[in-house]
Amino acid sequence: MSRSVNVVVVGATGAVGQEMLRVLEQRAFPVGRLRAVASARSAGGTVTFRGESVTLEAPSPEVFEGSQLALFSAGASVSREWGPIAASKGCLVVDNSSAWRMDPDVPLVVPEVNPHRIANPPKGIIANPNCSTIQMLVALKPLHDAAGLLHIVVSTYQAISGKGARAVDEFTQQQAAQHEGREAPVSVLPGVLAGNLLCDWKHDASGYSEEELKMIEESRKIMELPALHVSPTCVRVPVRNAHSESVWARFARPITRDEALSLLRSAEGVVLDDAVGPAKHPQPRAVSGQDPVHVGRVRHDPSDPQALSLWVVGDNLRKGAALNAVQIAERAFATR
């Protein structure tokens, strides 16, 4: 480890903010001083870091002074207001919201995919991509490097934790209501998710959801492939944590299953499960709480020698959010 880094975590009481604190501690990031920021109504409360209580503070310009890193996970409006202020105080801002992802002057980074974009961000801000995009591109990057990615067709099976703690609580209430024969509550989720599937995002006039459009735009930006074809379908499933994805990818040249397995086996951030058979694929129950992206069910497309199908599972709160942000910081400050 190198010099200590003073850190501000904005959104420290949320699910991702709490995960950021755990990841900083677990990975022994060299935090010198930690300041924890939450809403004004939460100020004065505490969070725990390294076994000690840290008092929550409301956002202010002063809270960023003397710090070198600000991790944001408090929503796009907070990031748009306070991210530039934190950067003006000398912090590298790593933002988990959608606020800056498509800004051409803000790098959108997955460290295993485009680490060269971390150094010297023009606005002092680096954006964390959407959770679904992160795990998909970690799996596809080694294959792209070898064969040249042309087209992705992806269907996501996204866990409830991606919508936040209130959604998880409502899902639990829906399960209980169904078991007892009562009407299931619906306020946070757009419908009943217990025993069901939902397309759980706003849609535009094209019929695509916000989540699907994010996967298209972010994949092109991160991979630096503006003409990349991305065809997504995003679905919320009754799983508490860890997203799963069915990915079909077409490449510029033929690629065999054996070649793909060899590439994935040695890829950074990937755990390959090449077992074949019922229930031998990566599963969200097993992957939840783990750092790597798990890839299994690697299949050659029998009708297209240039295409492969993959099953990709990742913890959306860790690699899909908190861990990715901390990994960006580790590279920026050369702590690993």
Catalytic residues: 131, 243
Q: Which amino acid, 291?
A: D
Can you tell me which residue has the tokens 């010297």? 120
User: Which H or E run includes 211?
Assistant: helix 210-223
With a CB cutoff of 8 Å and minimum separation 6, the contacts of 179 are: none
Contacts 24+ apart (CB under 8 A), 330-334: 330/27, 330/29, 330/111, 331/111, 331/115, 331/118, 332/69, 332/92, 332/94, 332/118, 332/119, 332/126, 333/2, 333/3, 333/5, 333/30, 333/68, 333/69, 333/92, 334/2
Is there a contact between 321 and 105 (Cβ–Cβ < 8 Å)?
no
DSSP of 236-297: E-S-SS-EEEEEEEEESS---HHHHHHHHHT-TTEEEE---STT-S--HHHHTT-SSEEEEE
**Does residue 209 sit in helix, strand or coil?**
strand
Interior/surface letters 135-148, b for 16+ CB within 10 angstroms, e for the rest: bbbbbbbbbbeebe
Q: Where are the alpha helices (DSSP H) in 15-91?
A: 15-26, 76-88
**Does residue 201 sit in helix, strand or coil?**
coil
**Does residue 315 sit in helix, strand or coil?**
coil
* 230 vs 21: CA distance, rounded Å: 34
